[in-house]
Amino acid sequence: MNFECGVASKLMRRCDSQLPAQPVIMQHHLNKEPLMKPKLMSLSAIAALAIAASSICVIGTVRAQIDSGIGSNPHLHAQSAGAAGSPGTTVVKMSQKDVNFIQKAAGGGAQEVENGKMAEKQAKSAEVRSIAARIVADHTRLNKELTALANRKGVTFSTGGVKAQNLGTGDFDRLYLKWLEEVHRADIADFERAAKSADDKELKAWAAKALPTLKQHLAMAQGGAKKS
């Protein structure tokens, strides 16, 4: 703005310097019109330049006033920022209750996969090894579904550090089936709660869909425990 006004001021001063202090009286009649016409054209061009420069100065001043008004007015500044950032994807925010359930279910599912892999190797009974293989397959599938759902909602978790647990000393088959029954009782309670009261509709539907599989696992663990 200062630069534009400075240019205008210089042009105005130049215009003033081009104007004669007194009218020029031409002595020779024949040369009067040719001499006066170029002089008048030159003055007109300078005047037009001066007017244009003045307009530039005024526009620059108004622009500066508008910009400073927005900068000093939080409401106007917020509106401007909001309008510029409005295009884009919508971020889905889940409730903390739903996030907690996802993280707990993911951790529990990963633990069941790791313990199931261990049982496939260490169990003596063929039935227990079969149960363990079913647990690994089902919870691997459920974990993939839950991970995809969480990614769509912007929820992240890591189960890379989950390792097989030490289930204690004694009959491994009995210890594994007992542990399997306990964790599935807890899983079913958590999933039933989520299927009824989860805030996210997609998460609620996923929990409801997973419940029959979890109940089958519980029945398998209880049936195997009776035979062992």
CA distance 207 to 218: 16
HSE (side-chain half, CA atoms, 13 Å) at 192: 9
Average pLDDT of 88-108? 85
Q: Look at residue 227 in the predicted model and tell me its pLDDT.
A: 84
For residue 122, which of 160, 161, 186, 165 has the smallest C-alpha distance? 165
Query: What is the pLDDT confidence band of residue 47, given thresholds at 50, 70 and 90?
Result: very low
Joined together, the tokens standing for residue 69 give: 């008004």
Average pLDDT of 25-49? 44
Question: Residue ranges of the alpha helices (H) in the chain?
Answer: 2-18, 32-72, 74-85, 96-122, 126-153, 172-197, 201-227
- Spatial contact of 211 and 192, defined as CB atoms under 8 Å apart: yes
Q: Dihedral sign, CA of 216, 217, 218, 220?
A: positive
CA distance 23 to 39: 12
Tell me: pLDDT of 223 over 70. yes
For residue 115, which of 185, 159, 179 has the smallest C-alpha distance? 179
Q: Look at residue 26 in the predicted model and tell me its pLDDT.
A: 40
Out of 48-52, 68-72, 147-151, which region has the weakest mean confidence (pLDDT)? 68-72
Q: Look at residue 83 in the predicted model and tell me its pLDDT.
A: 33
Tell me: pLDDT of 119 over 60. yes
The single-letter DSSP state of residue 94 is -
Tell me: pLDDT of 166 over 80. yes
Out of 43-57, 85-99, 102-116, which region has the weakest mean confidence (pLDDT)? 43-57
Across 26-35, 64-73, 143-152, the highest mean pLDDT is recorded for 143-152
Tell me: pLDDT of 213 over 50. yes
For residue 181, which of 145, 212, 135 has the smallest C-alpha distance? 135
C-alpha dihedral (147, 153, 155, 160), degrees to nearest 10: 10
- pTM comes to 0.60
